[in-house]
Structure 1
Amino acid sequence: MSKPILLASAIGLALPLLSAATPAAAQSCEALWYQRNEIYKAQGYCFRTQRGIRAFGNAGCQYDNMEDVPLSANQRRLVAEIQREERAYGCPL
């Protein structure tokens, strides 16, 4: 096979993979957002955004400020890891 044909074949094979990156990242962003906020919900955070309220509600919430939510060292580490992944995917924070 000639080089132009190989290059065209490689590009043709790569295009579906490249176009799939955006939906996968969006799906991952949604999952990461949910995981991160699930930690806060379990510890009593009162969500302010419609997205957060729709996903988790505010029943039984105790903390209006995220900084006041009592997270364990392990939970803080996990939140930081999730936020790093969100930044890597380019997710809105």
Structure 2
Amino acid sequence: MKRWLLLVCLAAIAADVGPSPAAARSAPTCDSLWYNRTAIYARRGMCFKDERALRVFGQKCFRPYGKLTYRDQRRVNDIARQQRRLGCKTN
């Protein structure tokens, strides 16, 4: 039962790749784009070195250590394009 509940929770977290409905109605900001892009890596176990990412997501490294699925990579690329268009700092 616990394993099933864990799988359901993880599936729900993995499915939440895009912005919230409220954020989707407003124009994206550099901060919201940064958060959404970094959250994708955080869900995949990225070991962050950036202070801001550490403050927001913590140091919770786990396999696959930030390796993205094809879908995740496409979303990250889309966000990166939006960041460049807005002139966001992307460190």
Gaps of 5+ in 1: 1-24
Match of 2:48 in 1: 47
SS of the residue corresponding to residue 42 of structure 2 reads helix
2:39 maps to a residue whose letter is: E
SS of the residue corresponding to residue 85 of structure 1 reads helix
Match of 1:21 in 2: none
Per the TM alignment, residue 49 of structure 1 is displaced from its structure 2 partner at its CA by 1.2
Match status 1:69 vs 2:70: no
Match of 1:58 in 2: 59
Per the TM alignment, residue 88 of structure 1 is displaced from its structure 2 partner at its CA by 0.3
> What CA distance in whole angstroms lies between the structure 1 residues aligned with 2:73 and 2:50?
21
Structure 1 segments (4+ residues) deviating >2 Å: none
Match status 1:88 vs 2:85: yes
CA RMSD after TM alignment = 2.1
**What is the number of residues matched between the two proteins?**
64
**More helix per residue: 1 or 2?**
1
Q: Which has the larger radius of gyration?
A: 1
CA deviations over 1:40-87 (Å, ceiling 9, x no partner):
00000011011010010012x137xxxx62211110000000000000
Instruction: Name the TM-score, length of structure 2 as normaliser.
Output: 0.63
Match of 2:15 in 1: none
